[in-house]
Structure 1
Amino acid sequence: MKIIDAHLHFEQGGYWDVIAEEAGHVNTVAHLADTYKEHNVVHGIVMGNKPITETDCEYPQHLSYCVGIGHQTFDFNRIEEQMPLLEEHLRRDTCVGIKFYPGYSYFYIYESRFDPIYELAEKYNKPVAVHTGLTATDTALLKYSHPMVLDDAAVRHPHVQFVMCHMGEPWFMDAVAVMMKNQNVAADLSGILAGKLPDEEAFYRKNAYFVEQLKGQLTILQDYLRFMFGTDWPLANYGDYINFTKHIVPEEAWEAVFYENAKRIYRPKELL
């Protein structure tokens, strides 16, 4: 079975190297390539953390990227001035979307000041991914990353494809409610596990309620064409995450969730 990882990060050094080691990996290009080969991962979508000014950013083979909109990558006081830079990214075949980081940067994604960004997303038919749910730092604010913010944005921009990253963990019920109402909202299942599981059976016993709650919410939506496999590499172990996704998704939907949905939503050129 071919796999697309619809959500990973590609940064080296410091924090990223540490979490890779905790996940049983090594944060290098060579190790990632070997891991992809081992698990038949044919493509990955990088959630960008580089400044928008880096319009010539390059990633290794089999990786596309979403250009990041956050306080470390984007000047929120000069939105209009940066639209030519954003458009330059979106013209590139390797740029397959836009990624918002609202919880870390203290903004609501439905604010009218972001309309020019959505207009470009619609013009180039590229999705807008949004970090939702828990955050990696305690200085972030959850009110901006709650999945309900996508309801306002999806209604205001009905022709934009949204991706709810991490499915709003732990607000799975709210996430599904937003998806049930808004057909232009999909979700990736990344970032729910972290590190390497020393004992998978023990994990499922200890976290039975959490896992069954997530599995149940996926069942309620009854639309596996709107969920995508993702890992949040280097946060999680690839083998563990593949098994976890197989555990919460019925086998008849594996091909869609692991491959076809991300191919359709992000449309990486090398797979078309």
Structure 2
Amino acid sequence: MKIIDAHFHFADFPGFDDLARAAGHENTAAHLEKEYKRLGIVCGVVMGNRTLALEDRHYPPFMRYCIGLDRFVAAGTDHTQQLELVEAHLQRPECVGLKLYPGYNYFYVYDPVMDPFFELAAKYHKPVAVHTGLTATDNALLKYSHPFTLDEAATRHRNVQLVMCHIGNPLLESAIAVLEKNQNVAVDLSGLLEGKIADMPRFLKQKEWYVKTLAGWLEYAGLWDRVMFGTDWPLANLEDYIAFTKAIVPEEHWEDVFWKNAARIYQIGPLP
């Protein structure tokens, strides 16, 4: 079975080397490519951070990327330069979408100031991925990353595919409600594990309530054509993440969740 990692990070951020080691990996392209090949992961989608500079976005052939708007300044600012750079990225075939970080940057994704960015996504038929749920830093604000914020954005921009990253974890009930209501919303399952799991069966037993709750909400919705595998690497171990995803997704939906949905939503192909 082929696999697409629909959500990971690839950068020289401070602490990434330590995160990768804690997960049993090395924070290098060579190591990642080797592990991808070993595990059958044929492609990964980088969720971009830092600048919008075109020269900063050159990745190995087994990667695609979403250009990350993580320095957004809200209403009252001239966004002309940002829009020009985002459009230049979206014109590239290897750029498969736009990534927003509202909780970290204090804006609502449905704010009209975001309309020009959604219009660009619609123009180039590329999705908008949004960080939702818990944040990695305590100076972020959860009200901006709540899954319900995507409900209004999805309603205002019906011609744009949205991706709710991290399935809004741990706000699963809200996330599933937004997914069920809005046909132009998909979710990825990234960011649910951290580090290396020494004993996966024991871990699944210890986290039985959470695992059953997550699996239950996914089964309740039954929208397996809009659920994507993702790891949030280097946060988590790749092999662990595959095993964890198989524990919460019924086997008959593995092909959709592990690669077909991402290939369609992020327009990745052809794949080996």
CA distance in structure 1 between the partners assigned to 2:23 and 2:78 by the alignment: 38
Counterpart contact for 2:129–2:164, Cα < 8 Å:
yes
CA distance in structure 2 between the partners assigned to 1:91 and 1:54 by the alignment: 11
Counterpart contact for 1:110–1:149, Cα < 8 Å:
yes
Counterpart contact for 1:5–1:44, Cα < 8 Å:
yes
Which residue identity is paired with 1:232? D
Which residue identity is paired with 2:159? H
Aligned with 1:271: secondary structure?
coil
What's the CA shift for 1:12? 2.2
Task: Please say which of residues 196-205 and 231-240 is displaced more in the overlay.
Answer: 196-205
What's the CA shift for 1:269? 4.5
Aligned to 1:61: 61
What pairs up with 1:29-48 in 2 under 5 angstroms? Answer: 29-48=29-48
Counterpart contact for 1:93–1:268, Cα < 8 Å:
no
Structure 2: runs of 5+ lacking an equivalent: none
Q: With structure 2 as the length reference, what TM-score do the two structures score?
A: 0.96
Aligned to 1:96: 96
What's the CA shift for 1:27? 0.6
CA distance in structure 1 between the partners assigned to 2:188 and 2:177 by the alignment: 15
Counterpart contact for 1:215–1:249, Cα < 8 Å:
yes
Counterpart contact for 2:6–2:262, Cα < 8 Å:
yes
Aligned to 1:235: 235
Query: 1:192 and 2:192 equivalent?
Result: yes
What's the CA shift for 1:14? 2.9
Aligned with 2:36: secondary structure?
helix
Q: With structure 1 as the length reference, what TM-score do the two structures score?
A: 0.96
Aligned with 1:235: secondary structure?
coil
What's the CA shift for 1:70? 1.5
Q: Label 1:56 to 1:237 Cα distance change in 2 as closer, same or farther (>3 A).
A: closer
Work out the percentage of aligned pairs sharing the same amino acid.
55
Q: Give the CA RMSD over aligned residues.
A: 1.3
Aligned to 2:119: 119
What's the CA shift for 1:57? 1.7
Which residue identity is paired with 1:263? A
Aligned to 1:173: 173
Task: Please say which of residues 81-90 and 137-146 is displaced more in the overlay.
Answer: 81-90
What's the CA shift for 1:38? 0.6
Structure 1: runs of 5+ lacking an equivalent: none
CA distance in structure 2 between the partners assigned to 1:56 and 1:139 by the alignment: 27
Q: Label 1:87 to 1:55 Cα distance change in 2 as closer, same or farther (>3 A).
A: farther
What pairs up with 1:202-221 in 2 under 5 angstroms? Answer: 202-221=202-221
Question: Number of matched residues?
Answer: 270
CA distance in structure 1 between the partners assigned to 2:264 and 2:50 by the alignment: 25
Counterpart contact for 1:127–1:162, Cα < 8 Å:
yes
